[in-house]
Structure 1
Amino acid sequence: MGVKEGNGGAGGGVGIMAAEGVVRKVLLAYAYVAIWIFLSFTVIVYNKYILDPKMYNWPFPISLTMIHMAFCSSIAFLLIRVLRLVEPPSSPSMTRDLYVASVVPIGALYSLSLWFSNSAYIYLSVSFIQMLKALMPVAVYSIGVLLNKESYKSSSMLNMLSISFGVAIAAYGEARFDAWGVTLQLGAVAFEATRLVLIQILLTSKGISLNPITSLYYVAPCCFVFLLLPWSFIELPLLRGQAAFRPDLLVFGTNSLCAFALNLAVFLLVGKTSALTMNVAGVVKDWLLIAFSWSVIRDRVTPINLFGYGVAFLGVAYYNHAKLQALKAKETQKKAQQADEEAGKLLGEMKGDRNSNSGS
């Protein structure tokens, strides 16, 4: 009896420790989500503050993006080449041909995405921009189908149409609708979706996995160079005309630091949880931004806005649910395949033992 009680106590202790481990993992996951939401929230509102003519009044989105890229490139170079705290990818090595064929197209799309999305803050409210961003799954799926990375399914297309329909209703009810701003934001969504698909095609398929530091080390300088040409023709002449303007180093320094920290938070969230978790957290962040935009910035949010985004939100929620089910099915199939392989090996060993016994 005494032995049984001892075993029961040990089993209970193991159970408590396992439960504490699960709770700790859940709390850490929530912490990663909270950090990412806070930094993403901060960068969006900060960029809006700098670019909006009614706030800080520095409407130069290309220049702001180039400041971010220069800052991120410098920090990444310092960490990799000077301090050697981060190792660049070594398998396979980043050759010149691989850089030109893979990183350059991704860098070009990233620069266009950042340029267009930052430009949209000059013309549109934060809340409406978040509503338009709900079209990202539609763009990623559509481009994936075009480039043969996704299989066409009628149910998936119906889901994409429901999201698009909800965003269209939200746009119809937008009080501060600006056609040029909408065009810029839709262009940003299209470029970003193409970039995400190309990362799978050009990098992941070659076995290259970049953490945020190495990504910035390779991609940020490329983005800076691509932005030089439009900046020279569009914003440089205007900046020369503002000789009296002296940029606030505290504002632009902390803004760039937040942008750099956001890249680290993305890696932390995806690395410690999953990309799907980030998608779900993104929906929560969008609702928080809409509430903040309405209550603090005093952007007008109409009932039609909310109804339309609600429809789009349901579509995005279903999209994330479908992705989760597909991941679970893939994981189950993988486990079943491993079990079959182990069973095959066991049968092979048993046959070998039988043959050796009959031979003796």
Structure 2
Amino acid sequence: MQQPSPIQEESIPIALTDSDILARAKNGTGKTAAFCIPALEKIDQDKNAIQGLFYTHNAPGRYSLKAKCCYSCSHEELALQTSQVCKELGKHLKIQVMVTTGGTSLKDDIVRLYQPVHVLVGTPGRILDLTKKGVCILKDSSLSPEFQPSIEQLIRYLPASRQILMFSATFPVTVKEFKDKYLPKPYVIDLMDELTLKGITQFMLLWKKGKKSTALTPSFPRQLQINQSIIFCNSVNRVELLAKKITELGYSCFYIHAKMLQDHRNRVFHDFRNGACRNVVCTDIQAVNVVINFDFPKSSETYLHRVGRSGRFGHLGLAVNLITYEDRFNLYRIEQELGTEIKPIPPQIDQAIYCQ
């Protein structure tokens, strides 16, 4: 049986008491489940009404404002990811979850809202649009926002008695203003000192000469026992070129980047999540057992965000970093800042260190 992560263990019992929460925890520590579990616990599946509104936004961190419960995360892909977590956690409770994001059919969303929906996950503009049209009724619901005027508007549609839960790794000034207005006395949880690389083995592969893409030979992936992997690049062009290279080597590979149409991004994310492909080249997506930094990140925050995609919820994970001579200073600095060690990759990798 899996054990709850520290943020889950500390926040879930408090959330179930209807207390407001202001929680800080690093990426990859299970904040999504920490919010979803108590939110779903309070939903009456026999009541045909939206009781949980999970509002996702392009934000530097994740926040959640809970009318009865709310959550906010970055990017449309995370809206889909959050909805999948809700569906998985709520399937035995018969809770109906709907996701809506910009760039998808508004008409289809309106039709869906005339069917039973207990939890709505979406982006701010779309949720506000549906609310103003009168098809998204929030008087019984929860809400999740980035702190923009649209949030203030959405709050007007919420019941007066609301519980607010805010989860993030960082809280910018706008969040403080929001907190002072809507959370005068929150229960504060600060777990930023928790090590988020626990359970993740990290290796580096030093690439001294030639194009880095030549590292991706048929023998390189066979060193790894990959259920699914994410390969991170630092530019759109690199994403497409690398995905093409991996496909030419005979491996199934998708890619996602910001210049793609949202419908296409959603479809790729859905297919990858359902196992249609084992590798994806991108900037951000769901948890997997192997993360490959084809381009080494320039900051420890980015490194944590990427590597935290593996080893989530107590699972073991593996991160492989392709390092060039120019990356040596960033490598040393990130090791020092995170108090971790990135070792040279061995000829053979023991599957026990990242597979369960």
Bigger radius of gyration, 1 or 2? 1
Point out the structure with the larger helix share: 1
TM range, smaller chain: under 0.3
The answer to which structure has the higher strand fraction is 2
TM-score, structure 2 as length reference: 0.25
Higher relative contact order (CA 8 A, sep 6+): 1
**TM-score, length-scaled by structure 1:** 0.25
